[in-house]
Amino acid sequence: MMNTSACHSEKFHYFARKAQLAYIETLKSSREGISLSSDEMRELDMLVSPLLLKGQSIDAVFTAHKDEIPCSKTTLYNYVNSCYLTARNIDMPRKVCFKPRYSHGSRPESFQTFVQGRTYKDYRQYMIDNPDVNAWQMDTVMGGNNGRKCLFTLLHETSNFMLAYLLDRHTQGDVVNALNNLCETFGIDRFKRLFDVILTDRGVEFENPYALECDGNGEIKTKVFYCDPYCSWQKGKIERNHEFIREIIPKGKDFDRFTQADIHLMMTHINNYPRASLNNSTPYDLAKLLLGTDFLKALHFHKIPQDHVVLKPKLLWEPDDIVND
């Protein structure tokens, strides 16, 4: 047997648990603080904060400027969370608390006759039978403070390109007139190709599918289907895009002060904002590809650089108006 006492080298004892705890502590401490120099941090702040203050998300900013940002996306999120930049969490659109979902209780079968043959189930089957059609989602957005005006919105499902029109009143007639005016812009033959099918909810403003489907001369221009009762998620894309409108015109503000030119400016910025769901493309770019340049020109939309996109009330309001309103 070997006599170990004859070895005079320094000896160490290994304790696995102590080693693991030391490793975790080293890993934690190595990730704390800022790894950038003061100059690099200043340049990062000058690049990122102005865009966040315009209402853009960290994901969109990082994707557009990843070659200029000297850190990972996760680290950038941490810098904002730790208040290392001028922009704060409160400046980001999704850093909010959502109200509890309202419960409608049991959902009885609908007795609305106007939806017969136009239910969400019928819509799904129609899209299976006609997969290449241009499908749109339709809705209205109400203003606050007892304002009379509302927004009539249409969203192209594939590109997320959204149109919005200011209506004087939230009535069936105003919605029908807005849709007919859009039809006149393109002509009925072209409108049929661009707006093959429309999915909407069962609001009172949409209760006359025949008036919505026909132009002023009674010729069929589109096909309308309806979501199930209390199932706004079935047209979830347009509901999600309405959040961009609420970032610029907060809920509770009325639309009476605005003109259609104001609404068009807002939609130009929203449609030029890239989306992760579109592989970081913009609705404008996809609409140009799928609906054509002539479609965008007819509606007077144009391209703007991402860094110029503003998704905050300052896009439409003067600073004094935001404070005093």
Give yes or no: residues 143 and 244 share one domain.
yes
Give yes or no: residues 135 and 280 share one domain.
yes
Confirm whether 7 is domain-assigned: no
Q: Look at the chain and count its residues.
A: 325
Report, in angstroms and rounded to the nearest whole number, the Rg of the chain calculated over CA atoms.
Answer: 27
For residues 111 and 114, give the distance between their C-alpha atoms in angstroms, rounded to a whole number.
9
Q: What is the pLDDT along the chain (325 residues), one digit of tens a residue?
A: 555 567 777 877 888 888 888 877 777 665 555 677 888 888 888 898 899 888 898 889 989 998 899 888 888 888 888 788 888 776 666 555 555 555 655 555 555 778 899 999 999 999 999 999 999 999 999 988 777 899 999 999 999 999 999 999 999 999 999 999 999 999 999 999 999 999 999 999 999 999 999 988 889 999 999 999 889 899 999 999 999 999 999 988 999 999 999 999 999 999 999 999 999 999 999 999 999 999 999 999 999 999 999 999 999 986 555 444 4
Give yes or no: residues 77 and 133 share one domain.
no
For residues 104 and 230, give the distance between their C-alpha atoms in angstroms, rounded to a whole number.
8
Using the 3D structure, point to which of 26, 60, 91 is the last residue of a domain: 91
111 burial via Cβ count (<10 Å: 0-12, 13-18, 19+) = exposed
For residues 167 and 254, give the distance between their C-alpha atoms in angstroms, rounded to a whole number.
12
Confirm whether 126 is domain-assigned: yes
For residues 271 and 160, give the distance between their C-alpha atoms in angstroms, rounded to a whole number.
8
Confirm whether 268 is domain-assigned: yes
Write down the pTM of the prediction. 0.81
Confirm whether 38 is domain-assigned: yes
Give the chain's domain count. Answer: 2
Give yes or no: residues 309 and 205 share one domain.
yes
Confirm whether 198 is domain-assigned: yes
Confirm whether 230 is domain-assigned: yes
For residues 240 and 245, give the distance between their C-alpha atoms in angstroms, rounded to a whole number.
10
Give the pLDDT score at 193. Answer: 95
For residues 310 and 106, give the distance between their C-alpha atoms in angstroms, rounded to a whole number.
42
For residues 27 and 37, give the distance between their C-alpha atoms in angstroms, rounded to a whole number.
21
CATH number at residue 191: 3.30.420.10
C-beta separation of 52 from 88 below 8 A = no
C-beta separation of 176 from 206 below 8 A = no
Confirm whether 127 is domain-assigned: yes
For residue 16, give the amino acid letter: A
Give yes or no: residues 59 and 151 share one domain.
no
Element (H, E) at 151: strand 150-156
Nearest CA among 281, 264, 278, 269 for reference residue 308: 269
Query: Residue 226 half-sphere exposure, CB side, CA atoms within 13 Å?
Result: 24
Confirm whether 104 is domain-assigned: no
Give yes or no: residues 120 and 211 share one domain.
yes
Helices (H), 53-119: 58-64, 73-81
Q: What range does the domain containing 41 cover?
A: 34-91
Give yes or no: residues 248 and 308 share one domain.
yes
